[in-house]
Chain A
């Protein structure tokens, strides 16, 4: 295991860079960050639509979310790979294809988490804000979302973690990320797949686990500041 690591660590970290395209762990992280930062606002929008007082808005967004939830990400990536260029008229790189598929998929899941948070806000909170003369959108922005998002922080974290893990499906469309790099190494080493995938597992674990821990720490800190009971 150590000899593999010694020989290929650069490839695992950055892929062919700087002689070729960036890849490996660096690419995985870039993908995850792009996927997350784009799906987050979209998920909020979807969640707000699903809790909207307009029945049809709620219904349409509900169908959309369930449709996406019913499809394996693999299939979604596949369709994005071929449909996106048709729609936009431009050829689109594997990287952006994967980002788009991830964003669509993750915002559906994330929106479910956020919706649960919004629905759990006591009605009195909304009434209190509205009775002070504050409008719907400001109430949403200043009262509902801050509380809802904070309350579902653990749920969102595990969604973030699965996004990181799901970038690994990028290898199907040859996006040069961590799993792809590991596959390449595996093809070169050929006879030690367990060791190669062991290294892969450890790398994912370190990244994901530190993320969860960091968010947990943040959560406790905010609770302390707000003098709320620990969750």
Chain B
């Protein structure tokens, strides 16, 4: 198989992939929450903006989004901040932002369908007890929506993990990048891509496992017979 130098290089790439994934996931999730809340405000303009955001991210390939963030966006920044950014691993942070935005659109949609699966009467029940709109959202609606959408959210996390590979287009040295690099250096294509595939599978299975744990822990028993 591969010499240890190369294996080490691949593991390095894996570490970057995981970093990128976790940073992007946290950002995506928080942003998705904001999107969901803004969307429920029921103001025409808010709904319009969120919908446009979601449609853009769902209908344009991720690669193009990443390129846009790396080459398009920083031009709008002030000069000083821009050079600071370039000196501090701009590739990684901009890739994380692009990935996070792309995923947040999907996560927001997942949570929104979770919300729609909650009977409207839950909302009424909480309001009838005198709790405010925000309290109702925070303690009653959102926790249930999250529990209902765990399944889709796990799939989403998995996709995000795999999609981190597009970051290589702007020079983030993650797993696929490293694999290509090694392949190019040695022309030992099968070993290199074999090892990379195994690493990806390990990461994916880890995410699935954690997801299953969470799902088992928070499963929502909505009771037999009562919708």
A/B contact in complex, CB under 8 angstroms: yes
B158 interfacial contact with A, CB 8 Å: yes
Contact-residue size bin, chain B (C-beta under 8 Å from the other chain): 20 to 34
Contact present for A72 and B59 (CB under 8 Å): no
Q: Could you tell me if B208 and A165 are in contact, using CB atoms closer than 8 angstroms?
A: no
Contact check, B197 vs A75: say whether CB atoms are below 8 A apart. yes
Binding stretch for chain B, among A18-26, A129-137, A194-202: A194-202
Main secondary structure of the interface of A (DSSP, over half): helix
How far in angstroms is the closest Cβ of chain B from A199?
Answer: 10
A71 on the interface (CB 8 Å rule)? yes
**Is B76 an interface residue, CB under 8 A from the partner?**
no
Question: Are A112's CB and B158's CB within 8 A?
Answer: no
Contacts of A74 in B (CB 8 A): 165, 176
Are B71 and A165 touching (Cβ within 8 A)? no
Determine whether the beta carbon of B200 is less than 8 Å from that of A72.
Answer: yes
Min CB distance B35 to A, Å, is 16
In the complex, per-residue mask of A169-211: 1 if CB is within 8 Å of any chain B CB, else 0: 0000000000100000000000001100110110011001100
Q: Are A200 and B155 in contact (CB under 8 A)?
A: no
- Give every chain B residue within 8 A of A209 (Cβ-Cβ): 55, 59
Cα of A209 to Cα of B52 in the assembled complex, Å: 11
B63, A168: Cβ atoms closer than 8 Å: yes
> Is A56 in the interface zone, CB < 8 Å from B?
no
CB atoms of A201 and B208 under 8 A apart: no
Instruction: Determine if A147 is an interface residue (Cβ-Cβ < 8 Å).
Output: no
Interface assignment of B68: CB less than 8 Å from any CB of chain A: yes
Partner of B61, one of A69, A198, A204: A204
Complexed CA–CA distance, A80 and B158 (Å): 21
The answer to whether B201 has its CB under 8 Å from any CB of chain A is: yes
Bound-complex Cα distance A67 to B201 (A): 8
Complexed CA–CA distance, A201 and B68 (Å): 10
Task: Determine whether the beta carbon of A70 is less than 8 Å from that of B64.
Answer: no
Q: With an 8 A cutoff between CB atoms, is A79 at the interface?
A: yes
Is B196's CB under 8 angstroms from A75's CB? yes
A17 on interface, CB distance cutoff 8 Å: no
Taken together as a complex, chains A and B put the C-alpha atoms of A158 and B59 apart, in Å, by 9
Q: Could you tell me if A70 and B208 are in contact, using CB atoms closer than 8 angstroms?
A: yes
Q: Does A78 contact B (CB under 8 A)?
A: yes
With a CB–CB cut-off of 8 A, which chain B residues contact A200? Answer: 61, 64
A79 in complex: contacting residue of B58, B68, B155, B197, CB < 8 Å:
B197
The answer on a CB contact under 8 Å between A71 and B72 is: no
Q: What CA separation (Å) do A67 and B62 show in the bound complex? A: 23
Q: Would you give the 0/1 interface string for B48-87, flagging 1 where the beta carbon is closer than 8 Å to chain A?
A: 0000000110111111110110011000000000000000
Chain A contacts for B58, CB-based, 8 A = 158, 161, 208, 212
Which residue of B has the minimal Cβ distance to A205?
B59
**B interface: dominant SS:** helix
Report whether B71 and A193 are in contact in the complex, using a CB–CB cutoff of 8 Å.
Answer: yes
Asked whether any CB of chain B lies closer than 8 Å to the CB of A138, the reply is no
Is B190 interfacial (CB-CB < 8 Å)? yes
- Closest-CB distance, B95 to chain A (whole angstroms): 16
Asked if B9 CB lies within 8 Å of chain A CBs, one says no
Query: What separation, in Å, do the CA atoms of A200 and B200 have in the docked complex?
Result: 29
B201–A78 touching, CB < 8 Å: no
B179-219: CB near A (< 8 Å → 1, else 0) gives 00000000000100100110011001100100000000000
Residues 149-175 (chain B) with a chain A CB within 8 angstroms: 151, 155, 158, 162, 165
Which residues from B are CB-within-8-Å of A75? 193, 196-197, 200
Enumerate A40-78 residues with CB–CB distance to B below 8 Å: 66-67, 69-75, 78
Question: In the complex, which residue of chain A has the Cβ closest to the Cβ of B66?
Answer: A197
Chain A residues near B62: list those with CB within 8 A: 165
Q: Measured between alpha carbons, how far is A75 from B183 in the docked complex, in Å?
A: 14
Tell whether A8 is near chain B: CB-to-CB under 8 Å: no
Beta-carbon nearest neighbor of B75 in chain A: A194
Q: Which residue of A lies closest to B203 (CB)?
A: A70
Bound together, the chains give a CA A149 to CA B166 distance in angstroms of 32
CB distance from A160 to the nearest CB of B (A): 11
Shortest C-beta distance, A183 to chain B (Å), equals: 11
12 A-B residue pairs with Cβ-Cβ distance under 8 Å, sorted by A, are A71-B162, A72-B165, A75-B193, A78-B193, A82-B190, A158-B58, A168-B63, A200-B61, A200-B64, A208-B59, A209-B55, A209-B59
The list of the 5 closest CB pairs from A to B, nearest first, reads A70-B204, A208-B59, A72-B162, A201-B64, A165-B61
